[in-house]
Amino acid sequence: MILISNGGSNMHRAAKPSDTIVVGTVDGIAVLGHGGEGWTVKHKALAGCNVSAVTAAEDGTLFAATHGVGVARSEDGGITWAWCNEGLDHFDLWSARAG
């Protein structure tokens, strides 16, 4: 899986090429898949949220940092997301790093 955002992890390594890209946008998350005819949007999530960063933990859990809403977590490759803001004092986040 490739993650693209302006404030997430900036280097990823994988054993093989990926057929999935997760993109943080000003209107949520876009999950793209690569098929026979190129890249297509397979799923959109967190509509209305400005996602400033997307990063992944070693176990594959994804985290999205947002402007004004806090942090969301996905354990299924970006299809479903749950807010995990407990303990946060600020919800306007510019970057994210898992680890």
Q: Could you identify the residue written with the tokens 């946060």?
A: 88
Q: What is the pLDDT of residue 12?
A: 63
CB 8 within 8 A of CB 54: yes
Q: Given pLDDT bands bounded at 50, 70 and 90, which one contains residue 35?
A: confident
Residue 10 has pLDDT above 60, yes or no: no
List residues bridging with 83 in a β-sheet.
72
List residues bridging with 22 in a β-sheet.
3, 31
- The pTM of the full predicted model, rounded to 2 decimals, is 0.87
Instruction: Give per-residue burial for 67-83: e unless 16+ CB within 10 Å, then b.
Output: eebbbbebeebbeebee
Q: Above pLDDT 90, what percent of the chain?
A: 68
| pLDDT tens-place string over residues 46-67 | 999 999 999 999 899 999 999 9
- The residue ranges of every structural domain in the chain are 2-83
The whole-number average pLDDT for the span 16-33 is 92
